[in-house]
Amino acid sequence: MAEIKIPLKDCIIPMYYDVLDDIFKHKHTHYVFPGGRGSTKSSFVGGISIPLLIMQNPKIHAICFRKVGNTIQNSIYSQVVWGLYQLGIESLFTIPKTYSTPITYNPTGQKIFFMGLDDPDKVKSVKPPFGYIGVTWFEELDQFAGEAERRKVTQSTMPGGDLFWDFRTFNPPISKNNWANEYTYDCEVKRTDSTLVVRNTYFDVPRHWLGEQFIEEAEELKEINPRAYQHEYMGEAIGTGGDVFQ
């Protein structure tokens, strides 16, 4: 890995320090981040963890997924680009104007690809110039069709290597019966050696990172609609899935 000094205090919240160490040491394969608004989970995964993993492992490439392709430019692509500048390593990467061309780590030629899964079979067409796809990121996990769809993707990307990191980030849907909520709950209960679930809220984030307007909006919603606040900001699945009206 290139010798850089990571400005941790400027990039990630303190509770993610140990998580980043866990990722670097490959203590788990699957990392699941359910969290409310402002939890910084997506910037931590896409902006910080993925670029640093690329630099640390010269044989791997990464693919970042959204369910719908036209949401990529202003979400996962922007998160990765933000991270490169935040870390001060942007000069080491070729950053195209749009996500349709992968970001390239110049010293090795490693790629960070971006893809919509409107058609899951498209992932088979991704061919890195060497090595293998060692990192996958599913942003807004609940928008995918289910665990079978995600598994079909990783079954296509994983062959060819030894070390893999699979990231999943999402704001928990309101229904406890949503597949992403049920999958996360099962992971927490079973506590498998391969999966780490990380939950946090905007309370874990320095206030000045979020801005006063964000805090005011959250506190106002807490006063006028506590149930919506628990779902949107605290990341809690508060519905049973069977309710039609409250």
Tell me the range of 1-10, 154-163, 220-229 where mean pLDDT is highest: 220-229
Report the sign of the C-alpha dihedral through residues 112, 154, 189, 180, in that order: positive
Specify the pLDDT at position 2.
46
Q: Is 62 exposed, middle or buried (0-12, 13-18, 19+ CB in 10 A)?
A: buried
Distance between CA 173 and CA 167 in Å, rounded?
A: 18
150 and 79 Cβ atoms separated by less than 8 Å: no
User: Higher model confidence: residue 238 or residue 158?
Assistant: 238
Is residue 124 scored above 80 in pLDDT?
A: no
Closest by CA to 89, choosing from 75, 104, 77, 70, is 104
The mean-pLDDT minimum among 196-200, 225-229, 236-240, 241-245 falls in: 241-245
Closest by CA to 146, choosing from 190, 187, 186, 181, is 181
Specify the pLDDT at position 137.
96
103 and 94 Cβ atoms separated by less than 8 Å: yes
Mean pLDDT of the chain: 89
Specify the pLDDT at position 243.
52
The mean-pLDDT minimum among 98-107, 154-163, 165-174, 223-232 falls in: 154-163
Q: What average pLDDT does range 140-162 have in this prediction? A: 83
Radius of gyration from C-alpha coordinates of the chain: 18
